Amino acid sequence: MPAPSSTRSHRRRVTDPFGYDPDFHERARPWFEFFYRRYWRVHSEGLEQVPLSGAALIIGNHSGGLPLDAAMIATAVDLEHPTHRLVRFLYDRFVTDMPLLGDAYDRLGAAPASYRNAYRLLQAGALVGIFPEGVAGVAKGIGQRYRVQRFHTGFIRLSVSLQVPIIPVAVVGAEETYPVIGKWTRLGPLKEILNVPYIPITPLFPLFGVLGAVPLPTKWHIRFGPPIQPDPALRAARRQTAARLAERVRRRIQAMLHEMLAARESLF
């Protein structure tokens, strides 16, 4: 585990409006490091593309049934970036009311997804992580793996209005941790208890019960691409322009995925 830096020491003294708890994060770090280095054996490249300080948007493909990709992207930056920056990922609103999960997300540095929350974090100089595919990214079946779904445009408006760079990120390996072959939507009372739109069905879950919910130990590859700088002339960009720019970023990430998959030697 890398030695604590002055950046980390500074974070412990900050009171965070979104509930980030540096001490909780410090206690959880060994678990994330285990999954990053030992379980999924993550190979990360391009971390030099992430700015040493200041606001930026981390935009990636979303996959795997559960948001494990967010955890590993954040861990890559936390462990291997020169200034060990905290990535503030935004999570879907349904997570907020899930037992324990929403609180844990907040304490680890995440925040409920909204334009206002993202704006506030970026104004404060944070690294903000967004999956513009939304739930469609994690809900797609195994037959659609690594096919990046349509991007929502909010991140483009944030980038242009605040003039912050977009760092495209591609993740290979997460799709196969929970290969979704179906979705259980008739949850009955469970829907109110868990507050989830569906439960993913995989080759192992729910067939093997709790053991089937253990993610598969696939080999992961994370690539951070060169920053995409916003054009100041687009501050008053129309919706069509934002959609076109979002599609350009989506295609950039899709091209990165194609290249990484072509070079992939083994699933495990």
Tell me the whole-structure pTM to 2 decimals.
0.88
Lowest mean pLDDT: which of 74-78, 196-200, 219-223?
196-200
Domains annotated on the chain, with CATH? 13-263 (3.40.1130)
- Bigger pLDDT: 2 vs 68: 68
Determine the angle formed by the axes of helices 154-162 and 239-263, rounding to 10 degrees.
Answer: 110
Over residues 33-49, mean pLDDT: 98
Helix (H) or strand (E) holding 183: strand 182-184
The least confident of 112-116, 122-126, 187-191 is: 187-191
Please tell me the predicted confidence (pLDDT) of residue 196. 67
pLDDT in tens, 172-205: 999 999 888 877 777 677 666 666 667 778 888 8
* Mean pLDDT to the nearest integer, 142-169: 94
Q: Among residues 218, 177, 184, which one has the least CA distance to residue 201?
A: 184
- Dihedral, CA of residue 147, residue 266, residue 47 and residue 49, to nearest 10: -40
The reported pLDDT for the residue numbered 197 is: 67
Return the pLDDT at 9: 42
β-pairing, 221-224 vs 166-172, is antiparallel
Higher pLDDT pick, 41 / 202: 41
